[in-house]
């Protein structure tokens, strides 16, 4: 299927609007005026975006801004989603894509979820010949970058 990444992101952010409001979070969108449609599994990419947004809501500090940016870089579309939140310690960052892996079990249990979101996200993005990576700074925030090939 042909998917428009900007449209999928806009729709997903709309679905999360109540949760963003409850945390008094703002969303800053930086989309190019034009981007190519790509061949991708719409439900799969939506699932990935939803997990990244749900993580951002769970782990952001209140009254912060989530920055979402899309760029075309060479033959790829690059999606960045950067939150201002609790962040992830360096030692955990390498394990975050493992099934059921969660930082700080007690804290995570309160937050709900299973620890599967990012492992599923990586599988879906790999199946698209893409990449997903996380950069993070404790008590500062986390940036998720997803790169998808433009066919
Ligand atoms: P699920 O996605 O299955 O509901 P989950 O959100 O806990 O559960 P993942 O999405 O795989 O699972 O994330 C794994 C862990 O990585 C989380 O439990 C959390 O500790 C950490 N994490 C993920 N995203 C962020 C983020 N934006 N900020 C801080 N920590 C994060
Ligand atoms: Mg999650």
Provide the ipTM. Answer: 0.98
- Of 58, 109, 112, 115, the C-alpha closest to 87 is 58
The per-residue DSSP string of 18-41 comes to: HHHHHTT-EEEEE--S----EE--
Which residue shows structure tokens 């492992």? 119
Query: pTM, whole model, 2 decimals?
Result: 0.96
pLDDT (average), residues 89-110? 87
pLDDT digits (tens, 9 = 90+) for 34-43: 999 999 999 9
Mutational test site, ligand 1, from 109, 118, 132, 137, max ligand atoms within 8 Å of CB = 118
Going from the C-alpha of 62 to that of each of 28, 57, 122, the distances in angstroms are 15, 9, 28
Q: Which residues contact 109 (CB under 8 A, 6 or more apart)?
A: none
**67 falls in which pLDDT band (50, 70, 90)?**
very high
Statement: residue 110 has pLDDT above 90: no
């Amino acid at each position: 299927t042909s998917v428009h990444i900007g449209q999928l992101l806009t729709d997903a952010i709309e679905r999360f609007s109540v949760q963003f409001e409850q945390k008094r979070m703002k969303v800053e969108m930086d989309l190019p005026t034009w981007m190519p449609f790509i061949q991708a599994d719409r439900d799969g990419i939506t699932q990935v975006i939803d997990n990244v947004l749900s993580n951002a809501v769970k782990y952001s500090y209140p009254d912060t801004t989530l920055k979402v940016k899309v760029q075309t870089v060479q033959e790829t579309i690059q999606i960045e989603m950067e939150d201002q939140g609790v962040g992830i310690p360096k030692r955990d960052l390498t394990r975050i894509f493992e099934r059921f892996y969660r930082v700080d079990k007690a804290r995570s249990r309160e937050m709900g979820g299973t620890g599967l979101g990012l492992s599923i996200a990586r599988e879906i993005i790999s199946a698209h010949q893409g990449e997903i990576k996380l950069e993070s700074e404790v008590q500062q925030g986390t940036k998720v970058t997803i790169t998808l090939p433009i066919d």
